[in-house]
Copies of this chain bind each other. A is one copy, B any other.
């Protein structure tokens, strides 16, 4: 592993002399190569699908794993779109002349070598490889075991394009040892690896955060809340609550707990229940909720659970302060929303809640790179530092100060 990572680190230096147009041409070649090798990719994927069937993967997981011609075409298009993004490195983020006459340019640069740990969907392999290549980073990819054949086939296609262009194939690599031990080595190799991005279950993320010596930008769970205040427009509130829960329950920006102001609970809860029943949402609630509508009992454990399913906790709280108390206790720092027409209440909520995205009168479902207008996204960071929330390709860069003098000394 160490030898491999040392090679990867050295390989990263070729980006110093690779122009943006060369990178874009190579990305387009990669897209073409994915198309041209569709049959190979589907064959490899069929092996994974057969294994998945043998291992009784859920139908949701099987669907995420599955490739067909149109999905491979989608992968190729995504790589082409990434080629079309604005060049992310070499941008002067700030520039000024100091009192000593030094010209300082704070300039965006690649991070270096990035280890990315993820699960299931094979398109993440080509997306991530393309985002890293576009931003002049070497990527070391650790995909899910269940997609191993597909990921290997994809990496092989991309590496063939690199070699055809006389570039080291280490620029886009799968981790050479994909066992837990291999991952444990990777996350401690701070000499060669500059960043680890773990995307996946809570156990994986905690393990990486607890054991990594490399910097980590985590993509953790979304324990998202919506609070309906006494001053909400109730139509808005209901539409937003339904959207936040029901439109796509399996994603991290979906709502898990709905908080309702005690001042309007008697009026709002029956209306909400009627709509959620139509959407076949399974409802749980606090004792106050249960005294108004018929729902199962919600426990503290429920308030702490990211269902990723059409299940919702409802809790009655005393005004915005009650909502803040609950959210401070259970938030994962992803996305939180208040529905209110009162400016002061809205600002109190916006300031008190510490999360990547805090909404007034909108669905938490908007927390994503596309909806934010960032283009292709690396993921949604729940880190507090470096990149927070929807993480565009700029999240794969850092900076250095370039300083131009004419003989200055102190």
A96, A355, A407 — most chain B CB neighbours (10 Å): A407
Q: Does A59 contact B (CB under 8 A)?
A: no
* Contact A215 B385, beta carbon cutoff 8 Å: yes
| Closest CB pairs A-B (n = 3) | A362-B405, A243-B409, A236-B407
A384 touches B215 (CB 8 A): yes
Q: Please tell me if A285 contacts chain B, counting CB pairs below 8 Å.
A: no
Task: Please name the residue on chain B nearest to A363 by beta carbon.
Answer: B409
Tell which of A190, A233, A362, A386 has the most Cβ of chain B within 10 Å.
A362
Residue-wise interface mask of A (397-410) relative to B, using a CB-CB cutoff of 8 A (1 in contact, 0 not): 01111111111111
A358-B401, A366-B408 known; 12 new pairs, CB 8 Å cut-off, are A16-B351, A111-B385, A195-B384, A354-B400, A356-B401, A358-B400, A360-B402, A360-B403, A361-B404, A388-B398, A388-B400, A389-B401
- Residue contact B98 to A371, C-beta cutoff 8 Å: yes
* Chain A interface residues toward B at CB < 8 A: 13, 16, 96, 98-100, 102, 104, 109, 111-112, 190, 194-195, 209-210, 213, 215, 217, 233, 235-236, 239-240, 242-244, 247, 328, 350-352, 354-363, 365-366, 371-373, 383-386, 388-389, 398-410
Residues in B with CB closer than 8 Å to A389 are 400-401
Residues of B within 8 A of A403 (CB): 357-360, 362, 366
Closest CB in chain B relative to A209 CB, distance in Å: 6
B409 engages A373 (CB within 8 Å)? no
Give the docked Cα–Cα distance between A239 and B408 (Å): 9
B-side contacts of A388, CB under 8 Å: 398-401
**Which residues of chain B have C-beta atoms less than 8 A from A243's C-beta?**
409-410
Note all chain B residues with C-beta closer than 8 A to A398.
384-385, 388
Residues of B within 8 A of A410 (CB): 243, 247, 363, 365-366, 371
